[in-house]
Amino acid sequence: MTERDMILYEPFTASMGRRFRVRRVIHTQKTAFQLVEVVDSPDFGVTLFLDRRFQTSEKDEFFYHESLVHPAMMLHPDPQRVLIIGGGDGGAMEEVLKYPSVRSVTMVELDGEVVAIAKAYLRSICGGAFEDPRVRLLIGDGRRFVEETAETFDVILLDLTDPMEPSKYVYTREFYALCAARLRPGGILALHNDSPFFFPEAYNVITKTLDAVFPYRRQYAAYIVGYMLDFAFSVCAMDDVLNVEETELARRAADRGIHDLMSYTPQLLEGFRTLPGYMQRILDQPCAVSTDAAPFVISTEPSDD
């Protein structure tokens, strides 16, 4: 992208991309891990791109962050200790910190420069989350953290990039087993399962890999405006704790003072009960699970087809 043309091109799938007109470039930086760009978009306002891929924006961030965070937090009767792996923009953490029961949030983010950029330029997304005294920020590898820690958590949120080459080992059966071992009794893991429509293979593999570890899983879909695609989300547990009635979810929201959300409602979780037909058809197809020995990777390289 250049200041002269102010057009940012994003590769989308192996056969499709999209162009963003940009009013101004707020910040651009090449970190040790990725290209980070913060721009002002006419459609999305302040917007974060990593390696030219749309991550979040001030106008649409609630679609993703509320869908990732609130189902797990509401399904848990008393979430006190939360682990977030990834999520350097701070949007998920800002949602978690709305819960008065939360005593501590540990965030493990690989790229510390993303956190510094979020603090400086993404306040409309993260607010003052990084300054909250309940937060412990660790810069490092999230998988290594769960391999080495003896700590356990009520809720674990995986706020990760798609299963491409750099992140392939945080989508494997072995990694999910590590996360399961770090859950306290009744604990819940939440994560996105990619786009069933645009990346059906990834969606199928992630779902079946979760099922190879967790005996209890519920799944739902949300449309993420900035991504311009459907996204599946799952909540997973080792214990039978995921069936909570809508009336109880509404009561918990009121008791916890969680209101004025833009996307999540207690009725959202009714979507757990019946998946759309196209999603179920994907899951009806057999596939191998992702393992450390053979990790699944999405390919977005242009094809000749």
**38 and 163 inside one domain:** no
Whether 47 and 125 share a structural domain = no
Kindly indicate the confidence band of residue 166, based on its pLDDT and cuts at 50, 70 and 90. confident
Residues catalogued as catalytic: 159
pLDDT at 9: 92
Q: What is the four-CA torsion angle of 247, 249, 254, 257, rounded to 10 degrees?
A: -170
Q: Are residues 68 and 156 in the same domain?
A: yes
Write out pLDDT tens, residues 249-305. Answer: 999 999 999 998 999 988 877 667 788 999 999 999 999 999 999 999 997 665 554
Looking at the fold, whether 31 and 140 belong to one and the same domain comes out as no
Q: Is residue 10 in a domain? A: no
Residues 38 and 169 in one domain: no
Please name the residues in contact with 171: beta carbons below 8 A apart, sequence gap of 6 or more. Answer: 160, 163, 205, 206, 209, 290, 295, 296
Going by pLDDT thresholds of 50, 70 and 90, the confidence category of residue 5 is low
Per-residue pLDDT averaged across 25-43, rounded?
96
Here the CATH number for the domain that contains residue 35 is: 2.30.140.10
Mean pLDDT (whole number) for 36-52: 96
Looking at residue 268, its pLDDT comes to 75
Count of structural domains, the chain: 2
- Together in a domain, 51 and 172: no
Count of positions (residues) in the chain:
305
The answer to whether residues 107 and 144 belong to one domain is yes
Residues 6+ apart with CB under 8 A from 125: 46, 48, 56, 57, 58, 61, 89, 90, 91, 94, 118
- Asked if residue 129 and residue 48 are part of one domain, the reply reads no
Residue 192: inside a domain = yes
Q: Is residue 299 part of a domain?
A: no
In a domain, residue 262? The reply is yes
- Residue 16 has a pLDDT of 87
What integer is the mean pLDDT of 209-230? 95
Domain coverage including residue 35: 22-57
Are 166 and 32 found together in one domain? Answer: no
Q: pTM of the prediction?
A: 0.95
State pLDDT tens for residues 48-92: 999 999 999 999 999 999 999 999 999 999 999 999 999 999 999
Task: Mark whether 107 and 48 lie in a shared domain.
Answer: no
Among 4-18, 144-158, 176-190, 191-205, the minimum mean pLDDT is found in 4-18
Which pLDDT belongs to residue 217? 96
Please check whether residue 256 lies inside any domain of the structure: yes
Question: 295 lies in a domain?
Answer: no
- Given this model, what pLDDT does residue 202 score? 96
Q: Are residues 88 and 145 in the same domain?
A: yes
Would you say residue 294 lies in a domain?
A: no
> Residue 200: what pLDDT?
96
105 and 52, same structural domain?
no
Per-residue confidence (pLDDT) for residue 165, from 0 to 100: 82
For position 301, what pLDDT does the model report?
A: 63
